[in-house]
Amino acid sequence: MSFKFYTAYYVSTYSRRRARTLRELLDGIKTVDRNTLFHHLFHTIRAKHLLPPRYTNDFARWVGEEVGDEELAASLSDVSGAEPATIEDIRQELVSILEPVADERRGRSEFVFVGMEPVVVETKYVAHTLADFLDLIEMVPGESIIYHFVTRRILEGVGRNDFSIWLEKNFGLTEVADALSRIDPLMYNSEEALRESILTTLKRWLL
């Protein structure tokens, strides 16, 4: 079976939800919809950063820069996006970190919750063989890498990234699939950094 590459764009939607204190941030994380949570966790990797950000997600950045709690910010930066985590799993990890310490400490500015709606688009890229697949991983838009490796699994709850699913199902490449599955997308600060890690893993096993 061939692998059809799709891509996704993310349209921001602004909500009235704001947090002024750590307690309000916790309440927001508990109650905002999945898309809003996804945006604040993963938009960093979709941005074209020239320099690595100090924090891996918006919650950690606000706690560190606005509230001034570096230790708590570091803990929030360490949340895992590795398989088989879904957006709800990550929500629970954030809550478990914040709940014991959430109090009335205020940020210098408000945290504004921003939602988003993914718009999925078909691309012209189709891999029929492993060689095709390896070549196309190098050339498809970065947004396509994010869609198949992050969005579908984290937001749609597929459970595993599309690349690992395809490699194991069609070629029996369980070890390759497992190696890809160990990559945590929250540890990367750009699409290209994630792409490079995926390529390095594939080449180590397939070439």
pLDDT tens digits for 166-187?
999 999 999 999 999 999 999 8
Report if pTM > 0.85. Answer: yes
Banded model confidence at residue 159, pLDDT cuts 50, 70, 90: confident
Backbone angles phi, psi at 157, to 5 degrees: 70, 30
Residue 75 has pLDDT above 70, yes or no: yes
Per-residue pLDDT, averaged over 145-151, amounts to 96
**What 3-state DSSP class applies to 202?**
helix
pLDDT reported for residue 52: 60
pLDDT tens column, 100-142 = 999 999 999 999 999 999 999 999 999 999 999 999 999 999 9
Non-local (6+) Cβ contacts of 206 within 8 A are 130, 134, 176
Q: What is the mean pLDDT of residues 149-172?
A: 94
